[in-house]
Amino acid sequence: MTELNEREQNSNQEDAGFWIRVLAFCIDFTILFIFKLIFGSLIITYFKTTGGIMPPLITITCSAGYYIWLHGKYGQTLGKMIFNIKVIQTTNEPITYKDAVVRYMGTFANFFTLGIGYLMVGFRSDKRGLHDFIASTKVIYTRKPNKLLIGIMVFLFLAIPGIFTAIVVPPLMDSISNSKAGSIKGTLAGLRGSVEIYYKDKGEFPTGDLSSTLITNKRYRDAIPKLDLPDHKKTNEIITITESHGKDLTAFIEDTGKWLYMADPKSKDWGKLIIDCTHKDVRSEKYWFEH
């Protein structure tokens, strides 16, 4: 096909609209995301760094290379190829690498307009966005897209977030809950350890307010750690029971979400510290006060 024939054929093509270009972008975004993960992992492993300028540099390099090379060589990214749309000059000639660079740089102007530059495609009769005006380009259909393919892609892009949420989110939330539960148990063990050190020093457990007793001497605690339990406000308050009338510490549980300490020597639980919470620890299925 001669350049003249190609230009004449391009002039007879229909301009590609907003939504078909969104679908093509989604394909390109997915391909780039996967590629950046693989390429980025190799680069980060080689340079042994995950911070600084490396992550944004990888993102910009992959994105620029993808769009500039494919547009410059074919006038189409992989997403555009799938939906039979193509970028050409407003003169109906194929775009060059120079045009591809200018068009790619022009996409950054859309961010400064808060996306209005992209939305122009949906409202203008010539279907051109701000980056198209900057590069003197337009997007056309090379032939009619496959409606079945469009339907499948729309379904997938609508279904994937729901599938991702159903499969990934529950295990992720469980992992977060388990991590949080482990942290709370570690904090409980640490606070109990402070009480044990006091006992070794004094030969008896604290009989007064536990918070002030432990903090007065920095050997035991600099501060009382906070409890952050589900269904309770975060707090570091310790409820100290000084008059038990011989009752066990569990008799004083009121589900406050606070620390609960037995300071009465008359109780068999003297020196015992628990968490005043009647909810279950999802990790072990035990009640918090049982730990």
pTM across the whole model: 0.52
Shared domain for 244 and 140, answered yes or no, is no
Distances (CA, A) of 239 to 132, 230, 258, 268, 280: 68, 19, 7, 18, 20
In this model, does residue 166 exceed pLDDT 90?
no
Rounded Cα distance between 208 and 215, Å, is: 12
Element spanning 213, H or E = helix 210-216
Give the pLDDT confidence of 209-253 residue by residue, as tens digits.
888 888 886 778 888 888 888 788 888 899 998 998 888 898 999
- Assess if residue 165 is contained within a domain: no
- Which of 99-108, 120-129, 150-159, 231-240 bottoms out in mean pLDDT, i.e. has the lowest? 150-159
Provide the number of structural domains found in the chain. Answer: 2
- Assess if residue 16 is contained within a domain: yes
Domain housing 43 = 3-145
Mean pLDDT of 95-114: 91
Shared domain for 103 and 190, answered yes or no, is no
pLDDT of residue 168: 60
Domain boundary among 118, 145, 172: 145
Shared domain for 106 and 51, answered yes or no, is yes
Rounded Cα distance between 273 and 188, Å, is: 8
Shared domain for 74 and 203, answered yes or no, is no
Which tokens belong to 252? 């004083």
Distances (CA, A) of 136 to 31, 81, 269: 27, 21, 82
Shared domain for 64 and 191, answered yes or no, is no
Sequence length of the chain is: 291
